Amino acid sequence: MFSHVTRGTDDLGRATAFYDRLLAPLGIHRVETNLDRGWAGYARPSEGGSIPFWLLRPLDGRPATVGNGTTVAFEAANRRIVEAVHAAALAAGDMDEGGPGLRPHYHAQFYAAYVRDPDGHKICCVCHHPPA
């Protein structure tokens, strides 16, 4: 559905430490880091060389900001992974925006957790399937 998603950060080291922990339960790992250029890319091994998630210092040199109403949602294969991602985020010192649970106002099996990364960006981890 999309080519890639980028998240701005003013502290790439802090952001990569956070996302390394947050994304590991989803099987997503950092596959590229360029400190000189100020970016890091994340993918699953099955992505075939595509890097769909990037952290970067804004190219215009201005500070990174948070978009109001903007959320990046990572899909989990099961509800245990949603819980593991949420726990990893909290262990990394992230801000809780809503613990793991059903959000039936989206649909009957929408099981999700929400957090904010160190730069304040909203993140969702969601499973769309019934419990295993």
* 35 touches 12 (CB < 8 A): yes
101-121 tens-digit pLDDT:
999 998 999 999 999 998 999
β-strands 71-75, 29-34 pairing: unpaired
* 52 touches 5 (CB < 8 A): yes
What is the percentage of the chain residues whose pLDDT exceeds 90?
70
Tokens of 111: 């099981």
* 54 touches 42 (CB < 8 A): yes
Q: Residue 7 burial by CB count (10 A; 0-12/13-18/19+): exposed, middle or buried?
A: buried
42-77 tens-digit pLDDT:
999 887 778 899 999 987 888 888 887 788 999 999
> What CA–CA distance (Å, rounded) separates 120 from 67?
9
pLDDT for 124 equals: 94
**Domains of the chain (ranges, CATH numbers):** 5-59+69-127 (3.10.180.10)
> What CA–CA distance (Å, rounded) separates 32 from 86?
24
The whole-chain average pLDDT of the chain stands at 91
pLDDT for 2 equals: 66
